[in-house]
Amino acid sequence: MKANLSIFAQIIRLIPRDIIHKNVDEHDSDFCCKGINAWTHLVSMLYCQFGNCQSIRDISFGLRSATGNLNHLGVTRAPSKSSISYINAHRGWTFFRDVYFDLFKEFKVKVNRIRLNRKLFILDSTLIPLCLSLFDWAYYRKMKGAIKIHTVLDYDSCLPVFIRMTDGKVSDIEVAERLAFPKGSILTIDRAYLDFNFLHDLDSSRVFFVTRAKSNTDFDIVKTLDLPDNTDNIISDNHIVLIGQQTKDKYKKRLRLVKVTDPETGEIIPLLTNNFFWTSKTISELYRNRWEIETFFYAK
């Protein structure tokens, strides 16, 4: 089997069946369903995602191998590959869209997330390998092909507000420099975007940023702030100015440098921001939540 059906069944049981019934009635999704109702279809497609199935055959054979465990999924019998192929072609996609948004509303308020009075965006990119012999336009490196997906994720909804696909050689900062963010919003980025011209443009647009500094960044400390109580992971909190030959003219204003430790690895992480009013704990939490986009990429 491609997936652990015991765990998969636990995930499936989290889906309220009344949401499925409501959308089936609204879309008339079970009309001429050829023996595969909307619930079985949904379970099959989720199994495809969680089980990393590569074909319809994998879905059918994987579910068939579950035998009696299908009862735990609310499925009476495993669909054949021809039936899955037919129903994929004939059941409307709007049913799944509306199920998704209903589930999003159902679980959104139940997730413990940092609460902000500003919009938080997360910017990053991910590489998707491609076979160079089939996609010769996607040349990335010698004998390797890839495309790069540049994404801006809305933290509140966990949904992308911007996606651009390029070949793998396009740099992250090349795409980032063309983006615009709302005044007063927050952008969290990794050090791949540590370009001080870009950071200066964000600051000039009154956009707050939190990013990871590079270890070789040259700076002078102009002010040292007191550390808060009960925050063992905060090492230092300073106002700095850049003094590097290549950086001091690109960003002439003060920056804030907060050094924190990763609770899992003990690694020291230097964080740069243009906000001087947040607590150091807030800055640490903002950068930690940058991991949301990694989770989004993993689920693609």
CA distance 57 to 35: 18
The answer to whether 209 touches 274, Cβ cutoff 8 Å, is yes
- Predicted confidence (pLDDT) at residue 110 exceeds the cutoff of 60: no
Q: Where are the alpha helices (DSSP H) in 91-234?
A: 93-108, 172-176, 196-204
The band of 159, judged by pLDDT with boundaries at 50, 70 and 90, is confident
* The Cα angle at residue 213 between residues 211 and 215, in degrees rounded to 5: 160
Q: What residue spans define the domains of the chain?
A: 5-108, 120-298
The band of 1, judged by pLDDT with boundaries at 50, 70 and 90, is very low
Strands 139-141 and 144-154: antiparallel
- Predicted confidence (pLDDT) at residue 229 exceeds the cutoff of 80: no
Higher pLDDT, 103 or 270: 270
The band of 142, judged by pLDDT with boundaries at 50, 70 and 90, is confident
DSSP 3-state helix, strand, coil percentages of the chain (rounded to 5)? Answer: 35, 25, 40
* The Cα angle at residue 159 between residues 113 and 41, in degrees rounded to 5: 105
Provide the token pair at 260. Answer: 């924190």
- Predicted confidence (pLDDT) at residue 32 exceeds the cutoff of 90: no
DSSP-assigned letters across all residues of 54-120: -SHHHHHHHHHTTGGGGGGGT-SSPPPHHHHHHHHHHS-HHHHHHHHHHHHHHHHTTS-----SS-E
CA distance 254 to 100: 44
Among residues of the chain, what percentage have pLDDT more than 90? 47
pTM, two decimal places: 0.73
Least confident range from 51-65, 97-111, 149-163, 177-191: namely: 97-111
CA distance 168 to 147: 5
- From 118, 119, 286, select the one nearest 210 (Cα to Cα): 286
The band of 2, judged by pLDDT with boundaries at 50, 70 and 90, is very low
Mean pLDDT of 42-69: 84
- Predicted confidence (pLDDT) at residue 153 exceeds the cutoff of 80: yes
What is the residue whose two structure tokens read 């037919």? 86
pLDDT at 184: 95
CATH hierarchy code of domain 120-298 = 3.90.350.10
CA distance 283 to 274: 11
Higher pLDDT, 268 or 158: 268
pLDDT at 113: 67
CA distance 235 to 213: 15
pLDDT at 205: 96
pLDDT at 64: 83
